[in-house]
Amino acid sequence: MKKLVETIPNFSEGRNPAKIKKILACFENASGVTLLDHHKDPDHNRLVVTAAGEAGALRNAVLRAVDTAVKTIDLRKHKGEHPRIGAVDVIPFVPVGGTSMEEAVALSRSVAKEIWLTSRVPVFLYEESAVHPERKNLPDIRKGEFEGLSQKMKDPKWKPDFGGPSPHPTAGAVAVGARMPLIAFNVNLDTDSMAIAGAIAKAVRHQGGGLRYCRAIPINLRKRGIVQVSMNMTNYVETPLYRALEMVRSEARRYGVTVTGSEIVGLVPLDALVQSSAYYMGLEDFSAEQILEVKLGEAKG
Amino acid sequence: MKKLVETIPNFSEGRNPAKIKKILACFENASGVTLLDHHKDPDHNRLVVTAAGEAGALRNAVLRAVDTAVKTIDLRKHKGEHPRIGAVDVIPFVPVGGTSMEEAVALSRSVAKEIWLTSRVPVFLYEESAVHPERKNLPDIRKGEFEGLSQKMKDPKWKPDFGGPSPHPTAGAVAVGARMPLIAFNVNLDTDSMAIAGAIAKAVRHQGGGLRYCRAIPINLRKRGIVQVSMNMTNYVETPLYRALEMVRSEARRYGVTVTGSEIVGLVPLDALVQSSAYYMGLEDFSAEQILEVKLGEAKG
């Protein structure tokens, strides 16, 4: 089995087609790397790339893209709704297909070091790669954004993990780290009460005393006349999807509300589906190796 | 997406390593074909090969293997516990990964015709490829075996679909056809009563008035002190796994028996897992395209 890593780098350019094209080309033209998706948003003024490949090939592609972004994006002139600290705001690495979290962490740190050495952009390590516990949480690193970075980095608590002591004049800084794949998982309820959806969201999310790797908010699906508990599952291995679903169902029961359905938005790791089948069907000793299409996909690779 | 077909040809040779090696080589050395598995059984005196690839490449590999088997296996000297009609007993083609049943049927018929033209072995089309409804069922074609074939084929009802009027003197005949993948799915019960497992098996299987694409028998798991309903799901699209599981659970209830677990033996198509997740989680608009490993596997292909 090939050891694959996914990366979802966020670049602070969502408007200029020529600059966006240059950044995407770093992934499209890289042998051993697959550009899975990209999303540009003019309001956020941000480009989110999804790519995957083996560690070495992916490392080179990311470094080329960072270099391109640093040379073409000037944060002093950048405006957008999404908070950001640099020309490249954040580079998450996600272990998939046979890669361990440790290997993804090692990759992220090696990329972080090289970014400072070649592009002279200071780097903060976050999430699983964080050396300082107070840098685990990305929003804490982003607080103050590019505009406040120079002042923030004077505080010894915010000395970068690589580089410094000042931000790059035009490209700011970047957060780099390994994290679990994030699954967007929504559960629909047969009520139009946002109060009920809100109470359930609070009950299941970590912040409210619920599941450790679950963020949740209520959403109003006005067109359908129902509400939804919209969740971000930040570690599906430790907090499986089915557990969140069953908890929503159980909490809903006290309001006489039932679950009408659910949805997964975007990509989901195969393991998360295997987990759910194993739980609901009570499958003993089942592994993803038994799945026919995956076996074929691999053998052809 | 590549259009893939799987084939599981059965050869009447499970003892002679040199002959087995020659047959396997036809798949191993074929570019565009993946030998997924093989199983040789000296008691059955039979070799079962599992291979997959795009239609054209798979066709050539199968034809080479048939030619090799016809030249090396003499059914007049063949003894084994498993019923068989020829040096190659049966060649099923299973649509996987983007191939339709119609395409698998077309492939099977083209292979069948070519077997007669090049190897002079008469062919019966069975299952989805059958032209005569009484040939849909493989055991009906096999009845009388190689030894009774010459007499059987004198009956106009059993004129082969390609070739004839007599069987090949040493290689007999072969059944060729397209069918759905067969899933071996077992459900465990918290009782040691074979009577209960037998009654449930009878209730869920097609023959007993149950689910159309389900065969089922009771099995005694003596070591674990429990019994099992052992099922062959012959068309998981029309009769999904979860429906069989929930029916076993519901039938077990009348005996005060509960389902303790289940198992899938061997390979299972990804779609069957997606089906089950969609049912139990109530997933709306979910497709296999959203599964990360599969997307990667494909893109790398």
Is the pLDDT at B207 greater than 90? The verdict is: no
When CB atoms are compared, the residue of A52, A266, A283 closest to B264 is A283
* Predicted confidence (pLDDT) per residue in B85-95, tens digit: 999 999 999 99
Same domain, yes or no: B174 and B187: no
Q: Are residues B122 and B220 in the same domain?
A: no
- For the ranges A135-149, A151-165, A248-262, A282-296, which has the lowest average pLDDT? A282-296
CA B42 centroid distance within chain: 20
Indicate whether A33 and A167 sit together in one domain: yes
Cβ atoms within 10 Å of B260's Cβ, excluding its own: 15
Question: Is residue B156 located within the same domain as residue B286?
Answer: no
Say if A270 is an interface residue toward chain B (CB within 8 Å).
yes
A82 is catalytic: yes
**Is residue A149 in a domain?**
yes
Average pLDDT estimate for B130-136: 93
Nearest CB to B277 within list A273, A299, A300: A273
| For residue B299, pLDDT beyond 50 | no
Give contacts of A286 with chain B, Cβ < 8 Å.
Answer: 263-264
Examine the fold and report which residue of A178, A211, A244 is the final residue of a domain before the chain moves on.
A178
Two tokens, residue B280: 């139990």
Asked if A61 and A33 count as a contact pair (C-beta separation under 8 A), the reply is: yes
Which of chain B's residues have a Cβ under 8 Å away from the Cβ of A282? 259-262
Mean predicted confidence (pLDDT) in A138-158: 94
SS3 A143: coil
Shortest CA distance from B262: residue in chain A:
A283
- Let me know whether B44 and B165 are in one domain: yes
> Residue A1: what pLDDT?
55
Give me the domain span that covers residue A62: 4-178
Best residue in A54, A190, A247, A277 for a mutation probing chain B (most B CBs within 10 Å): A277
Q: B96, A260: Cβ pair inside 8 Å? A: no
Q: Is A138 found in the same domain as A9?
A: yes
> Using CB atoms and an 8 Å cut-off, which of residues 190-229 of chain A contact chain B?
none
Task: Provide the pLDDT for residue A66.
Answer: 98
Residue A272 lies in a domain: yes
Give the chain A residue whose CA is nearest to the CA of B284.
A263
Chosen domain end from B178, B201, B236: B178
The amino acid at B273: L
CB contact under 8 A, B264 and A280: no
User: Residue B133: which H helix or E strand, with range?
Assistant: none
d(CA B208, CA B217): 11
Residue A16: which CATH number?
3.30.990.10
Residue A297 lies in a domain: no
Sign of CA dihedral B118, B120, B125, B131: positive
B33 strand-pairing partners: B53
A269 touching chain B per CB within 8 A: yes
**Does one domain contain both B188 and B173?**
no
> Taking residues B271-290, what's their average pLDDT?
91
Provide the mean pLDDT of chain B.
93
CB of B133 within 8 Å of any CB in chain A?
Answer: no
Answer yes or no: is pLDDT of B272 > 80: yes
Tell me what the mean pLDDT of segment B12-26 comes to.
97
Q: Does A275 touch chain B (CB under 8 A)?
A: no
| Catalytic residue (choose from A78, A82, A168, A206) | A82
pLDDT digits (tens, 9 = 90+) for A19-76: 999 999 999 999 999 998 898 888 889 999 999 999 999 999 999 999 999 999 999 9
* CB contact residues (below 8 A), chain B span 74-113, against chain A: 96-97
| CB A113 within 8 Å of CB A162 | yes
Say whether pLDDT at B298 is over 80. Answer: no
Report, as an integer, the average pLDDT of B22-36.
94
Q: How far is B165 from chain A (nearest CA, A)?
A: 39
| Residues 6 or more apart whose Cβ sits within 8 Å of residue A64 | A26, A30
For the stretch A192-236, pLDDT in tens is 999 999 999 999 999 889 999 999 999 999 899 999 999 999 999
Judge whether B211 lies within some domain.
Answer: yes
Contact B294 A299 (CB under 8 A): no
Instruction: Quickly list H helices, A132-240.
Output: 138-142, 145-152, 194-204
Q: Report the gap between the CA of A241 and the closest CA in chain B (Å).
A: 9
- Asked whether residue A21 falls in the same domain as residue A126, the answer is yes
Give the pLDDT score at A300: 38
**What average pLDDT does chain A have?**
93
Per-residue CA distances from A143 to A45, A101, A128, A149, B95 (Å): 18, 26, 19, 9, 54
Average pLDDT over residues B154-160: 95
Annotated catalytic residue: which of B44, B78, B82, B206?
B82
The whole-number average pLDDT for the span A122-127 is 97
B2 neighbors B97 (Cβ within 8 angstroms): yes
Residues B164 and B254 in one domain: no
CA–CA dist A288, A120 (Å, integer)? 43
Residues of B in contact with A266 (CB under 8 A): 290
B165 plus B280 within the same structural domain: no
Q: Are A260 and A113 part of one and the same domain?
A: no
Asked whether the beta carbons of A239 and A191 are under 8 A apart, the reply is: no
- The residue among A299 and B27 whose pLDDT is bigger is B27
Q: Is there a domain that residue B128 lies in?
A: yes
pLDDT at residue number B1: 55
Structure tokens at A170: 């035009």
- Sign of the Cα pseudo-torsion (B69, B70, B74, B75, in order): positive
Q: How high is the pLDDT of residue B297? A: 60
Q: CATH number for the domain including B203? A: 3.30.70.670
Whether pLDDT at A299 is above 50: no
Whether B301 has a pLDDT exceeding 50, the answer reads: no
Q: Is A301 a residue whose pLDDT tops 50? A: no
Q: Is residue B298 part of a domain?
A: no
Given a cut of 80, whether residue B22 has pLDDT beyond it is: yes
Q: Which of A4, A280, A292 sits opposite B96 (nearest CB)?
A: A292
Interface test with A, best of B281, B287, B295 (most A CBs within 10 A): B281
Mean pLDDT of A273-291: 90
Question: Could A293 and B269 be called an inter-chain contact, meaning their C-beta atoms sit closer than 8 Å?
Answer: yes
Q: What is the pLDDT of residues B43-93, one digit of tens each?
A: 889 999 999 999 999 999 999 999 999 999 999 999 988 889 999 999 999
In terms of DSSP bridges, do strands A123-125 and A33-41 run parallel, antiparallel, or are they unpaired?
A: unpaired
Q: Which of A100-114, A177-191, B285-299 has the lowest mean pLDDT?
A: B285-299
Residue B132 DSSP code: S
Is B107 inside a domain boundary? yes
User: Smallest CA–CA separation between A279 and chain B, in Å?
Assistant: 10
Single out the residue of A129, A133, A111 nearest to residue A121, CA to CA. Answer: A111
Residue where one domain finishes, among candidates A178, A209, A226: A178
Encoding tokens for residue A197? 């959806």
Tell me, yes or no, whether A261 and A159 share the same domain.
Answer: no
Quote the ipTM score.
Answer: 0.72
Q: B301: distance to nearest CA of chain A, Å? A: 5
Count of domains for chain B? 2
- Cβ-defined contact of B290 to A188 (cutoff 8 Å): no
**Cβ pair B270:A292 closer than 8 A:** yes
Select from B52, B284, B293 the Cβ nearest to the Cβ of A96: B293
